[in-house]
Each structure stands twice: as structure tokens, then as C-alpha cells.
């Protein structure tokens, strides 16, 4: 369970993310343009993150593990060399923002680290204290020391010498000036050279309508010479089916290390091989073709397989997750946390201490078999949950020390209507289980009411003001008898195994 210091540092980091966005996006411009600027900026940040972790792997030149020996990869992942290196540097804030969002998808983060044999990086927590120390206490501007910045660039320069890859601060970001080259996912040959992230026709790499004709290289793969996002996904799926590397998502869904203890005996290697064989056999039979390329085209025609920013980095680690989407999905939560403004509350210690206790109870419900609810956190509980996940090693350790012995994923794609219904059920179950309200207001006044020092409260507000504020609270449309003030989290829920899963168990 995270400490108060970690949680406060996390809140400070969220403030810095907001300041970064404000420095990049001019809200006075047309909204559509502002949205595009930020999307392109995040796309470039993901590319920089991929360069960073690829450089870390090459910098240490560790003895490679078999990608199918998950248990050995997990047991040997704590690397003193990695720790020493990561303790000596700090990435740019845009790279940190991607790292932060990726960690909040713990099973996907783990899967990508294992398949790419870079779990020592995965085991290293987001350095919240160092990040907090690098953020100005008043302006929340990110100002790391020159030593930390230089050490970061030393690692990155061991992998790339491209001048644009060795820029630390992206203060002068201009979205139309950013150019990338793209490699074929199947043969690794460069097929597009100097392609913009975006252009006036919206056919750049970061655009939904990305469309470019092959203009470079010696790729002889039997696919279309018109490259789109769908074409790249088609080539990637083709490469995955033919590759000796585990399929994307194998250890997210079929791990024999972090899965529920009742599902752990499954053999990921057999599952991987079965999926590849069955995919090829069934698809070939269903469409009556002799070429796997045609099969792949049909299978990927209506699916977003993944975000293939990795293929803009020569020899880069293949990240099979839409990291741009991960960052964008966190924005509402970041905005809400900053609006609540816990950092300026005179009762921040009391409020967060209460939230840590509430999260520990919520975590107990998450990791037990005592119910079949989809649990939805409140904002304050979600903050602690997010902070917990920023150290994958400790989050996994805590999860595996529970009844289920399994890592609990954090689903941030649940529809809001379903969240509302499940939130009320969560609130009632929490009150039944722990005899306390689940939904609590965290304004300064309500925190004061719940604090031990009532005299301090009276000296601030006075008795009449207290009574008036209490009446106002109870008249709020968010107030529900038996539950309290409902502050549902902006996103995220967790689904506990249903009846079918229990029967299978």
C-alpha cells in the first residue's frame, strides 16, 4: 500500500502534467487544432519512451532469456545494474507521462516487459520522490537537475545518434515539423522515409487517415504498397503469426505467474502455439485461400490491432499497446484530481490517510472471492490505487499475497452507464461489509468534520456556518440516504470472476 509521501508526490506529478499540456496546447485556438497538437505531441512522446526503454536494454546488454521461460524471467528480474542506472537519471516529462500511463495498465505493462525481455525495467518503480523534487512547488514546472538530464541522454545516446532523438526538453514542439521513418513489421526494412506526423490533408502518421505510398527501401513483402494504419496492423499480425516470439497479450491473459491461482497451471507455450496454428488453419479453410497474406487481411480488416509507433524506431522494442490511448484516457482523471486541489488543502495529511485506509479495504474486496460485483472506486480510492500501481513490483507482491494470489488489472475502458450502476452496488456492499460510508466528500469542510479536532473546525467556520454547510451538503443532488455524497471515479472498474468463471474453477 503506498505511503502518504508517495501519494502527495503523485498529486504533484499530475499537476506537472497539466502544466506541460498548457505549455504545448494553445486553448485559444480552434478546439480541433488544439486536440490535434496534443495528439501529435503524445504520439511523439510514445516514440521517445520506446527509444528510452530500448536504449536501456541495449545499454545493459543483459544475458537474454528465453521469451517462453516466464518463471525464470520473473524470478531473475531484479537487476542491481538496472537499478543503479535508473537511480542516476530522470526522463523528460513527456516520457514520464507515457511511463505513468503504461503502468496504470499493469497486466499489459507486464506482458510487454516479459515478451521483450526487459522486466528489470518493469520492476523499477516510477521514481516519485525524484520526480517530485524536480517539480517546482509553486508553478509545478518540471526542472530536473542537469546531472539527471545528462545521465538520461548518455543512456539514450548509446542507442541513437539522431539529433532529434537527443533533445531533452520539447519546449519548442511544432507538430508539422516532426518527421519519422517507418519500417515494415514483417521484414524490418524501412518502407517510408521522412513522413510527417500530420499534414493539411490529415494523411500523416499520427492522423486517423494516415495514407502514404512506399517511398524507400527493399521490402519485398506481398502486401499493398499503400501504407495505412490498417496495412501496418495487417503486416504486424502476419509477422506475429510467423514469429518465434510469444503472441502479444500471451502473458496478460495466460500467465502462469500472475494469473489467478486456479488458472495458473495452464501452459502459455502450448496456448501460444495452438492459437497460431488454429488461426492459420481456420482462417484458410473459411475463405478458401492458399496465402496467409489474404487471411491476415481479412482477419484484421475491422480491428485496431495495436498502435504501431514502435516501427518508427529502428530496432526498437515492439510495444503492443495503444500508449497514445493510455495517456489520453488518463486526462479526465488528471483534470479532476487537479480541480479537487488536494495539494493546497490544509488537511491533506488527514484526508489522504483516510483514503489509504479506505483503499486498503477496497483492495481487500478486489482480491477476494466473497462477491461477484464489478467494483468501482471513488476518486480518492482511485488515486491511491493509481499510486499503488506505479510500483509494479510492490503492487504485484501485494496482489499475490491475497486470497486470489492474482494480479488485479485496472480496466479504464468501462462504459459510464455501467459504471454508475455498479458504483451504487459497490457503495452499498462496502457499507454492509465495513459499516462505514463508501462515498465521502473531500472538500476542506467535510474533511474537517471528519477530523479529530472539532475545535479547529469551529475556529475556522463557527457553529452557524457548520450547520449551514451541513444543510447544503444534504441538499446536494449527489447526496444519497444510506450512502452519503457520491464522488464516483472518472473511470476504471474491476470485474470479479462471475458465476461461469467460478464454475470453470
**Residue 445 pLDDT level (bands cut at 50, 70, 90):** low
Percent of residues, the chain, with pLDDT higher than 90: 52
Give dist(CA 24, CA 193) in Å, integer: 26
- Residue 145 C-alpha cell reads as 537537475
- Residue 246 C-alpha cell reads as 510469444
Give dist(CA 489, CA 466) in Å, integer: 27
CA distances to 164, 245, 283, 385 from 240, rounded to whole Å, are: 30, 8, 15, 33
Give the model's pLDDT for residue 125.
96
Q: In this structure, are residues 444 and 346 in contact, taking their beta carbons and an 8 Å threshold?
A: yes
Give the model's pLDDT for residue 237.
87
CA distances to 308, 326, 401 from 43, rounded to whole Å, are: 10, 11, 37
Give the model's pLDDT for residue 23.
94
* Interacting residues of 174 by C-beta distance below 8 A, sequence separation 6+: none
Give dist(CA 115, CA 250) in Å, integer: 9
Lowest mean pLDDT among 196-210, 214-228, 448-462: 448-462
Give the model's pLDDT for residue 188.
92
How far the first Cα of the chain sits from its last, in Å, is: 29
Give dist(CA 42, CA 77) in Å, integer: 29
∠ Cα 187 301 211 (to 5°): 65
Give the model's pLDDT for residue 53.
97
**Residue 283 pLDDT level (bands cut at 50, 70, 90):** low
Give the model's pLDDT for residue 268.
86
Give dist(CA 305, CA 239) in Å, integer: 13
Closest among 438, 187, 139, 456 to 311, alpha carbons compared: 187
Give dist(CA 434, CA 445) in Å, integer: 24
Of the ranges 138-142, 219-223, 328-332, which is most confident?
A: 138-142
| 188-217 per-position pLDDT tens digit | 999 999 999 999 999 999 999 999 999 988
Whether residue 129 has pLDDT greater than 70: yes
CA distances to 53, 467, 485 from 424, rounded to whole Å, are: 41, 27, 11
Q: What value does the mean pLDDT of the chain take?
A: 84
- The alpha carbon dihedral of 44, 50, 51, 53 has a sign of positive
* Interacting residues of 131 by C-beta distance below 8 A, sequence separation 6+: 9, 12, 13, 16, 90, 96
**Residue 303 pLDDT level (bands cut at 50, 70, 90):** very low
| 378-432 per-position pLDDT tens digit | 999 999 999 999 999 999 999 999 888 899 988 766 666 667 778 888 899 999 9
**Residue 484 pLDDT level (bands cut at 50, 70, 90):** very low
Give the model's pLDDT for residue 465.
52
Averaged over 34-44, what is the pLDDT? 94
**Residue 65 pLDDT level (bands cut at 50, 70, 90):** confident
Averaged over 291-315, what is the pLDDT? 64
Whether residue 479 has pLDDT greater than 50: no
Whether residue 442 has pLDDT greater than 80: no
Give the model's pLDDT for residue 294.
55
Locate cell 483516510: which residue? 354
Could you give phi then psi for residue 120, rounded to 5 degrees?
-55, -35
Beta bridge partners of 374: 495
User: What is the CB neighbour count within 10 angstroms for residue 404?
Assistant: 18
* Interacting residues of 418 by C-beta distance below 8 A, sequence separation 6+: 374, 493
| 85-96 per-position pLDDT tens digit | 999 999 999 999
Q: Which one has a higher pLDDT value, 493 or 239?
A: 239
Give the model's pLDDT for residue 286.
52
3-state secondary structure string across 298-336: HHCCCCCCCCCHHHHCCCCCCCCCCHHHHHHHHHHHHHH
**Residue 466 pLDDT level (bands cut at 50, 70, 90):** very low
**Residue 222 pLDDT level (bands cut at 50, 70, 90):** confident
**Residue 499 pLDDT level (bands cut at 50, 70, 90):** very low
| 4-20 per-position pLDDT tens digit | 999 999 999 999 999 99
| 248-258 per-position pLDDT tens digit | 989 999 998 99
Percent of residues, the chain, with pLDDT higher than 70: 81
Give the model's pLDDT for residue 424.
86
Give dist(CA 58, CA 56) in Å, integer: 6
Averaged over 463-474, what is the pLDDT? 50
Give dist(CA 124, CA 61) in Å, integer: 17
| Axis crossing angle, helix 93-103 with helix 4-24, rounded to the nearest 10 | 130
Give dist(CA 30, CA 204) in Å, integer: 20
- The alpha carbon dihedral of 264, 266, 272, 278 has a sign of negative
- Residue 267 C-alpha cell reads as 501452459
Give dist(CA 186, CA 237) in Å, integer: 9
Whether residue 289 has pLDDT greater than 60: no
| 313-366 per-position pLDDT tens digit | 999 999 999 999 999 999 999 999 998 888 988 889 988 999 999 999 999 998
| 141-179 per-position pLDDT tens digit | 999 999 999 999 999 999 999 999 999 999 888 888 889
Burial group, residue 89, by CB count within 10 angstroms (0-12, 13-18, 19+): buried
Amino acid at each position: 500500500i503506498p505511503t502518504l509521501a508517495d501519494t502527495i508526490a503523485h498529486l504533484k506529478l499530475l499537476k506537472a502534467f497539466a502544466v506541460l499540456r498548457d505549455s504545448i496546447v494553445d486553448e485559444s485556438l480552434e478546439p480541433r487544432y488544439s486536440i490535434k497538437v496534443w495528439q501529435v505531441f503524445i504520439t511523439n512522446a510514445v516514440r521517445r519512451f520506446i527509444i528510452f526503454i530500448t536504449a536501456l536494454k541495449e545499454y545493459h546488454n543483459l544475458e537474454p532469456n528465453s521469451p517462453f521461460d516466464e518463471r525464470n524471467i520473473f524470478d531473475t528480474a531484479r537487476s542491481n545494474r538496472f537499478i543503479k542506472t535508473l537511480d542516476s537519471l530522470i526522463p523528460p516529462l513527456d516520457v514520464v507521462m507515457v511511463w505513468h500511463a503504461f503502468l496504470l495498465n499493469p497486466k499489459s505493462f507486464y506482458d510487454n516487459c516479459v515478451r521483450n525481455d526487459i522486466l528489470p525495467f518493469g520492476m523499477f518503480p516510477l521514481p516519485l520522490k525524484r520526480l517530485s523534487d524536480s517539480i517546482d512547488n509553486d508553478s509545478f514546472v518540471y526542472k530536473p537537475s542537469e546531472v539527471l538530464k545528462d545521465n538520461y541522454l548518455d543512456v539514450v545516446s548509446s542507442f541513437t545518434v539522431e539529433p532529434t532523438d537527443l533533445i531533452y526538453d520539447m519546449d519548442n514542439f511544432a507538430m508539422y515539423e516532426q518527421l519519422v521513418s517507418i519500417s515494415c513489421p514483417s521484414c524490418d526494412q524501412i518502407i517510408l522515409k521522412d513522413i510527417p506526423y500530420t499534414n493539411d490533408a490529415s494523411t500523416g502518421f499520427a492522423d486517423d487517415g494516415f495514407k502514404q505510398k512506399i517511398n524507400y527501401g527493399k521490402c519485398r513483402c506481398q502486401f499493398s504498397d499503400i501504407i495505412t494504419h490498417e496495412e501496418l496492423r495487417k503486416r504486424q499480425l502476419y509477422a506475429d503469426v510467423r514469429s518465434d516470439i510469444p503472441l502479444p497479450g500471451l502473458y496478460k491473459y495466460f500467465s502462469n505467474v500472475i494469473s489467478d491461482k486456479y488458472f495458473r497451471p495452464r501452459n502459455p507455450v502450448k496456448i501460444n502455439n495452438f492459437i497460431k496454428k488454429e488461426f492459420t488453419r481456420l482462417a484458410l479453410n473459411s475463405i478458401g485461400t492458399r496465402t496467409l497474406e489474404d487471411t491476415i487481411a481479412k482477419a484484421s480488416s475491422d480491428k485496431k490491432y495495436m498502435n504501431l509507433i514502435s516501427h518508427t524506431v529502428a530496432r526498437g522494442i515492439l510495444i503492443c499497446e495503444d500508449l497514445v490511448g493510455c495517456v489520453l484516457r488518463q486526462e479526465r482523471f488528471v483534470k479532476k484530481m487537479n480541480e479537487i486541489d488536494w495539494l493546497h488543502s490544509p488537511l491533506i495529511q488527514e484526508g489522504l490517510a483516510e483514503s489509504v485506509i479506505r483503499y486498503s479495504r477496497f483492495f481487500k474486496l478486489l482480491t477476494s472471492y466473497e462477491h461477484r460485483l464489478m467494483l468501482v472506486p471513488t476518486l480518492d480510492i482511485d488515486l491511491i490505487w493509481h499510486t499503488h500501481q506505479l510500483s509494479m513490483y510492490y503492487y504485484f507482491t501485494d496482489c499475490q499475497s491475497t486470497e486470489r494470489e492474482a494480479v488485479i488489472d485496472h480496466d479504464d475502458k468501462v462504459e459510464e452507464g455501467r459504471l454508475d450502476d455498479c458504483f451504487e452496488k459497490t457503495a452499498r456492499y462496502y457499507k454492509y461489509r465495513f459499516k462505514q460510508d463508501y462515498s465521502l466528500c473531500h472538500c476542506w469542510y467535510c474533511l474537517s468534520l471528519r477530523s479529530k479536532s472539532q475545535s479547529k473546525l469551529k475556529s475556522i467556520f463557527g457553529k452557524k456556518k457548520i450547520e449551514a454547510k451541513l444543510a447544503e451538503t444534504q441538499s446536494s443532488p449527489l447526496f444519497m440516504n444510506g450512502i452519503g455524497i457520491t464522488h464516483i471515479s472518472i473511470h476504471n472498474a474491476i470485474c470479479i470472476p462471475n458465476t461461469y468463471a467460478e464454475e470453470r474453477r
